[in-house]
Amino acid sequence: GVLLAGLVEGFVKGALASVDLKTSRLMGKIASYAVITIATLAAFSELKIAESFVNILFIGLIAMLALGFGLAIGLGAKDLVGKILSDWYKDVQHDLKK
């Protein structure tokens, strides 16, 4: 888990280095800790240690990420998504009238 976390951290740092050095280091650390956390949860699950607790934590983690991603897209890109859907709707209406 730690080896994979180091690789992920280096990859994220390298990918975001052109944007901002401070941001790339922070995002690299966040990715590294996320990999370590998931690896630890997987190890506990395999060792049958607090199995139901680990499952609840993992489901909560996935739900938190999904909700955060949905809110970020929904609130942050509301205008862009609205424009894309409006253009798509106009295209469909135009095709149906043919």
For the residues 1-7, what does the mean pLDDT come to?
83
Q: Is the pLDDT of residue 68 over 80?
A: yes
In a domain, 38, yes or no: yes
Q: Please state at what angle helix 51-76 crosses helix 21-46, rounded to 10 degrees.
A: 150
In a domain, 3, yes or no: yes
Residue range(s) defining the domain that contains residue 13: 1-49
pTM above 0.85, yes or no: no
In a domain, 16, yes or no: yes
d(CA 43, CA 20): 34
What does the mean pLDDT of the chain come to?
A: 85
Quote the pLDDT of residue 22: 75
| Domains in the chain, number | 1
In a domain, 33, yes or no: yes
Q: What is the largest CA-CA distance in the chain?
A: 63
Q: Is the pLDDT of residue 67 over 90?
A: yes
In a domain, 86, yes or no: no
Question: Which phi and psi (to 5°) does residue 18 adopt?
Answer: -75, -20
In a domain, 89, yes or no: no
Q: Is the pLDDT of residue 97 over 90?
A: no
Quote the pLDDT of residue 38: 85
d(CA 38, CA 44): 10
Quote the pLDDT of residue 28: 86
Quote the pLDDT of residue 42: 85
